[in-house]
Amino acid sequence: MEVKRIPQAIVENLQNTLPKLLTKPVRQGGTVALFGEILADRFPDRSVLGGAPFNVARHLQAFGLHPVLITRTGSDALREELLTCMEKSGMDTLGVQCDPLHPTGQVIVHMEQGGHRFEISPNQAYDFIHAGVARMVALSTQPDLIYFGTLAQRHKISRRALNGLLQSVNAPRMLDINLRAPWYDAQTLKRSLLRADLVKINDEELKIIARQLRLPGDNADEQARGLIEQFSLAQLLVTCGAAGAWHLTADGTLTYAEGGALASGMVDTVGAGDGFAAVFILGTQRGWPASLILSRANRFAAALCGIRGAIPEDPHFYQPFLQEWEAAPSPVL
């Protein structure tokens, strides 16, 4: 009988992951598994680590929760930069896989009037997240929430890993829709929506999805209600940039909050939605009422628009928010 040899890449990932699994302390609550891309955002004047799952995870760590980022990097300098950044911030590196063949993800950010445009490279390490390792990490950490998006589902390998993770862990699922052309299609959207409990989307993306999925209604409210009904969602969160955000539940309860005012001038909007998502997750974990969650998320997202990039370089950026929210700063692991 022929004995199949386990690929070396899998062996190396297991060697890196198993010791951490065996020595990992048990956590009580506040654990969020974030599945998806890690990449370097290349701005005209510099490069910074990014990707929605990483950005959200970094904020959650600063807020005092326990984010577990399930992703994959290349065996390159960007990986070392990422691990150094995560360890310096006290973040859990258990779920960061290493790919010997594909590079750590990169995105060129084109700054444009009133916003930005992403140029996303294909065949990056996060397209090849290993399903077995991802599942082991999720089972070992038993998250209270699973966060995922659409970009990391563009390749069948990572898509399979996400499917296995969602089937293995019984926890609420938050889908953060970040439509990045040409890396999505109607099938990916439908599959993601069917697996989600809570969906975060911006107002422009709602229009696009309404067209693609032929949702009923001529306005955002009707389309949102159609989306909830068609995919049996518990909650829908719609962000509207400077105009604020609104939240709709399956029972029809609608909550609206106006946008937060910029304390200083606008620098860029990169990562504002990720900051909003992080505060929303924190609020649901802490049991804040919907109106308070939206108000605080709007103010935090507005503050991020006053700095360059998605993540503040100075950790003291978080202090006024933590003091206001009566949240303790995160401990170093």
Give the HSE-up count for residue 224: Cα atoms under 13 Å, Cβ half-sphere: 27
Sign of CA dihedral 317, 323, 327, 332: positive
β-bridge partners, 74: 99
Q: Looking at residue 149, what is its pLDDT?
A: 97
pLDDT digits (tens, 9 = 90+) for 74-92: 999 999 999 999 999 999 9
Fold of 28-310: UDP-N-acetylmuramoyl-L-alanine:D-glutamate ligase (3.40.1190)
Helix (H, G, I), strand (E, B) or coil at 194: helix
Q: Looking at residue 309, what is its pLDDT?
A: 77
pLDDT digits (tens, 9 = 90+) for 56-70: 999 999 999 999 999
pLDDT digits (tens, 9 = 90+) for 224-273: 999 999 999 999 999 999 899 999 999 999 999 998 777 667 887 878 99
Query: Cα(3)–Cα(258) distance, rounded to whole angstroms?
Result: 62
Q: Looking at residue 263, what is its pLDDT?
A: 63
Decide: residue 112, CB within 10 A, 0-12 exposed, 13-18 middle, 19+ buried: exposed
Q: Looking at residue 44, what is its pLDDT?
A: 74
Burial profile 271-300: b = 16 or more Cβ within 10 angstroms, e = fewer: bbbbbbbbbbbbbbbbebebeebbbbbbbb
CB 235 within 8 A of CB 247: yes
Would you list the domain boundaries of the chain? 28-310
CB 266 within 8 A of CB 305: yes
Instruction: Tell me the H-state helices in the chain.
Output: 8-23, 52-63, 77-88, 131-141, 156-168, 186-194, 203-212, 220-231, 272-286, 290-304, 319-325
Q: Looking at residue 333, what is its pLDDT?
A: 34
Q: What is the mean pLDDT of each run of 10 residues along the chain (333 residues)?
A: 49 55 51 95 80 96 97 96 94 97 89 73 95 96 97 96 96 94 91 98 96 93 97 97 95 92 76 96 96 96 88 91 76 43
Q: Does the N-terminal peptide bond of residue 182 adopt cis geometry, omega within 30 degrees of 0?
A: yes
**Alpha-carbon 162 to chain mean position:** 13
Q: Looking at residue 129, what is its pLDDT?
A: 98
Neighbours of 248 (CB within 10 A): 22
What's the predicted TM-score (pTM) here? 0.88
